[in-house]
Structure 1
Amino acid sequence: MSSLASVWYTRCPAPTPLSIAHQLGWIDRSFQAAGVAVRSIRDSKDPAVRQSHFTHALDYAFRQGGNIPPISARSGGRETRVVGITTTDEFQAIIALPASGIRTGADLKGRRIGVPRKLDQTIIDFQRATALKGIVSALSLEGIGHGDVELVHLDSAEPTLIERGNDAFLGLKRRYPYGDELLALARGDIDAFFVKGAEGLVLANQISAIVVSEFGFHTDAKIRINNGTPRPLTVDKRFLDDHFDLVTDLVQTVHGVAAWAQSNPDQAVRFIANEIGVGEDAIRAANGPDVHKHLTLSLDDEQVDAFGHFKDFLLEWGFIPADFDVIEWIDSRPLEAAHRRLAA
């Protein structure tokens, strides 16, 4: 096994134990103990490196965040492994303006629902896929099919912040979602659109929206599964094969966040709010008052089944190029090794 000078990592602006472990300084300390530097994909000045946030193209890299990009990368042939999963449910809803007359999901039949669409196809259009899954879930609760509504695509050529680099937007570290949908709603081009998470909840609050359908905490995992639920911790296979102990160190470090968060609930919420760029009250409203209890890293059968369902959805809708076996994508060995260490 060759020595390793550095590893790459990336995370999404979302409630993840990896994000909290990073903010606590645990990730850097864990790898520094082995003489390995940790480099941020998101902070790189090289656009090709930053794109690996979506493509998982770099060797010796790990990632936790939305699951559409890693599913896409695996479908495209990238040899990665899921070594842990975090399920932190979040607000998911279809919203409309009060003047629309739309009050329930059943009222969406025959109406126009906005769907964001990126014109640049170099990476998977995860925002479009996320919106479509939310729309399909909402409609299914009313026995309505997607053919019973008009899906209005809202095209945008604007790059994501990760694609652009760290160019601040009016002094903020990231641009918030749903701008195209909000403008289309204000123009009268659409009647409703999908939102999720703390950013979506804040937007709905700001425009006094009607929450037509809310399903982020639905009892059926197949309804609430989406890009953010659940969020996998993935590593490339070469990293796992060449440096299993380092991957186990990583998994153990991230796994430790759950206990820390339960003992430090206010600070955990503060870290999540800082990562996303919203107020702490928005986190509690969007993710529930017990969000600090839902930062566990595990590999439960229900989580794996949810991944399989969502992978099938992405395949059915043409977002990913090929099918693959989700069970074979999971590698439980680092988490099992971490549990043995803790037990010892």
Structure 2
Amino acid sequence: MSILSNRKPAASPRPDEIWFTRCPVPTATGIAYKLGWLGEAFEADGIALRTLQESGTELGRHHYDHRLPTLIREGGNMLAIAARAQGEPTRLVGLTWIEESQLILARPDSGIRSAADLKGKRLALPGWSHNDIPAHVRGTSIARGMSLAGYKGALASAGLTFDDVGLIETPDRLRNIGGSGRDLLPRGQGQRSGVGRLWPIEALAEGKVDAIYVKGAAAIDQAREAGLVVAIDLDALPDRRFRVNNGTPRPITVHQSLIDDHFDLLVRFLAVTLRAADWVTEQPDRLRDILEYETEGSPEAVDQAYARLHEGLHPTLDAERLALFDSQKKFLFTHGFLDADFDLAGWVDPRPLEAARAFNEQRPALHTSALHTL
């Protein structure tokens, strides 16, 4: 008997398409998409799987505001939390924790070798984003929010605070936060998502600041090209609290109407992504190729940044991840990235993920393409 057999029928007709969106980072959603599993899981029902990254700019705005009822989002928490703070009817259905090379970079002659060495230094603070939608400016100021959180963690690990450093504002250059059109461009056609413009590499290389925060494979490549060095590896710090940031934890959010009207389709989607998370340990070479596409990093940078990918790719809603996520929400509110605060517990809905796990456990040998029977 299906685990969903006792649920009421869907309240509205089957949709013609399901949308999903993700950032240029490692996600089970992105991996399942590149493997072709998501498309296979829905094709028998005539439901098309679409990504906002293959859409035009008008739909691309929903990467931020989540106003597509059939949109599933796995990406950075700043945009997801900001949308909820603005009253969007979304629900949090899962959290991942992926170590992906959060670094403080410096010039080789800076003398910065540890977090304690940041005292008295000039740290780059990217400016607020330029967004055509004024209400989206704060939530889309990704580089600013991530840099602040990264510095906070590094400083706290050495018993320091923002009072011990100087924050030097640098221009924000990212325009395409949702990566609209990214999936329409071939790999190797540079800066498909704009991630290459995220960090103030030039300000550091030119001596305008003493250190910058960066994250991910593409940033590792940029640092090498600019002759910069890793001063502090936040991933090496023993306490996860010092690494809470936009991608740690990384949320999976959905529109409330998708849960209410098409619960079974959401469960099917999540079941496929859970299987993709299982797959990552089995095919390292194929995985590397996918991650190069998703993150825009070189093979060497991908290996360095995501060596521990398999440890946190499976989503959960466990107490530790929720507590760390709540601390990020409070940080964003305190530093002006949210319109309002809200109760995290009221945002969480564990049912879809629980149902997806139960479905996969009932049919462990089922090929992914047969998931349309759910």
Q: TM-score, normalised by structure 1?
A: 0.92
For residues 106 and 217 of structure 1, do their structure 2 counterparts lie closer, same or farther at Cα, with a shift above 3 Å needed?
closer
Quick check: 231-240 or 174-183, which moved more? 174-183
Q: Secondary structure at the match of 2:230?
A: strand
What's the CA shift for 1:74? 0.8
What's the CA shift for 1:53? 0.8
- Distance (whole Å) between structure 2 residues aligned to residue 220 and residue 293 of structure 1: 16
- Distance (whole Å) between structure 2 residues aligned to residue 104 and residue 86 of structure 1: 28
Number of the residue aligned with 2:90 = 80
Number of the residue aligned with 2:127 = 117
For residues 120 and 207 of structure 1, do their structure 2 counterparts lie closer, same or farther at Cα, with a shift above 3 Å needed?
closer
Number of the residue aligned with 1:140 = 156
What's the CA shift for 1:160? 2.2
Q: Does 1:156 align with 2:172?
A: yes
What's the CA shift for 1:195? 1.0
Q: Secondary structure at the match of 2:345?
A: helix
- Distance (whole Å) between structure 2 residues aligned to residue 185 and residue 337 of structure 1: 48
What's the CA shift for 1:322? 1.2
Q: Residue 43 of structure 2 aligns to which amino acid in structure 1?
A: Q
- Distance (whole Å) between structure 1 residues aligned to residue 209 and residue 266 of structure 2: 46
- Distance (whole Å) between structure 1 residues aligned to residue 20 and residue 104 of structure 2: 33
- Distance (whole Å) between structure 1 residues aligned to residue 117 and residue 277 of structure 2: 41
Number of the residue aligned with 2:32 = 21
Quick check: 205-214 or 66-75, which moved more? 205-214
Q: After superposition, where does 1:304-315 map in structure 2 within 5 Å?
A: 304-315=322-333
Q: 1:273 touches 1:283 (CA, 8 Å); kept in 2?
A: yes
Number of the residue aligned with 1:216 = 235
Q: 2:221 touches 2:298 (CA, 8 Å); kept in 1?
A: no
Q: Does 1:238 align with 2:257?
A: yes
Q: Secondary structure at the match of 2:87?
A: coil
Q: 1:89 touches 1:217 (CA, 8 Å); kept in 2?
A: no
Q: Residue 147 of structure 1 aligns to which amino acid in structure 2?
A: D
Number of the residue aligned with 2:142 = 126
Quick check: 67-76 or 184-193, which moved more? 184-193
For residues 336 and 158 of structure 1, do their structure 2 counterparts lie closer, same or farther at Cα, with a shift above 3 Å needed?
closer
Q: Residue 308 of structure 1 aligns to which amino acid in structure 2?
A: D
Quick check: 188-197 or 15-24, which moved more? 188-197
What's the CA shift for 1:217? 4.2
* CA deviations over 1:110-168 (Å, ceiling 9, x no partner): 22111112342532212210111001111111111112211111123551264775597
Q: Residue 77 of structure 2 aligns to which amino acid in structure 1?
A: N
For residues 277 and 244 of structure 1, do their structure 2 counterparts lie closer, same or farther at Cα, with a shift above 3 Å needed?
same
Q: Residue 204 of structure 2 aligns to which amino acid in structure 1?
A: L
Q: Does 1:70 align with 2:80?
A: yes
Q: Residue 320 of structure 1 aligns to which amino acid in structure 2?
A: L
**Residue from 252, 263, 267 that aligns with 2:286:** 267
Q: Percent identity?
A: 35
Q: 1:261 touches 1:293 (CA, 8 Å); kept in 2?
A: no
- Distance (whole Å) between structure 1 residues aligned to residue 236 and residue 62 of structure 2: 31
Number of the residue aligned with 2:334 = 316
Q: Residue 163 of structure 2 aligns to which amino acid in structure 1?
A: G
Structure 2 stretches lacking a partner, 5+ long: 1-10, 363-374
- Distance (whole Å) between structure 1 residues aligned to residue 274 and residue 198 of structure 2: 35
- Distance (whole Å) between structure 2 residues aligned to residue 232 and residue 33 of structure 1: 29
Q: TM-score, normalised by structure 2?
A: 0.85
For residues 37 and 178 of structure 1, do their structure 2 counterparts lie closer, same or farther at Cα, with a shift above 3 Å needed?
closer
Q: Residue 91 of structure 2 aligns to which amino acid in structure 1?
A: R
Number of the residue aligned with 2:360 = 342
For residues 253 and 213 of structure 1, do their structure 2 counterparts lie closer, same or farther at Cα, with a shift above 3 Å needed?
same
What's the CA shift for 1:339? 2.2
* CA deviations over 1:236-285 (Å, ceiling 9, x no partner): 10111110111111111111112222222222222112211222321221
What's the CA shift for 1:52? 0.9
Q: 2:106 touches 2:212 (CA, 8 Å); kept in 1?
A: yes
RMSD, aligned α-carbons: 2.2
What's the CA shift for 1:33? 2.9
Q: Secondary structure at the match of 2:171?
A: strand
* CA deviations over 1:37-77 (Å, ceiling 9, x no partner): 222212222x2310111221221111111111001111111
Q: Residue 309 of structure 1 aligns to which amino acid in structure 2?
A: S
Number of the residue aligned with 2:71 = 61
Q: Secondary structure at the match of 2:20?
A: strand
- Distance (whole Å) between structure 2 residues aligned to residue 179 and residue 13 of structure 1: 12
Q: 1:284 touches 1:291 (CA, 8 Å); kept in 2?
A: no
- Distance (whole Å) between structure 2 residues aligned to residue 171 and residue 338 of structure 1: 36
- Distance (whole Å) between structure 1 residues aligned to residue 77 and residue 26 of structure 2: 13
For residues 268 and 224 of structure 1, do their structure 2 counterparts lie closer, same or farther at Cα, with a shift above 3 Å needed?
same
Quick check: 290-299 or 76-85, which moved more? 290-299
For residues 323 and 147 of structure 1, do their structure 2 counterparts lie closer, same or farther at Cα, with a shift above 3 Å needed?
same
Q: After superposition, where does 1:294-313 map in structure 2 within 5 Å?
A: 294-313=312-331
For residues 334 and 161 of structure 1, do their structure 2 counterparts lie closer, same or farther at Cα, with a shift above 3 Å needed?
closer
Q: Residue 8 of structure 1 aligns to which amino acid in structure 2?
A: W
For residues 110 and 207 of structure 1, do their structure 2 counterparts lie closer, same or farther at Cα, with a shift above 3 Å needed?
same
Number of the residue aligned with 2:4 = none
For residues 164 and 41 of structure 1, do their structure 2 counterparts lie closer, same or farther at Cα, with a shift above 3 Å needed?
closer
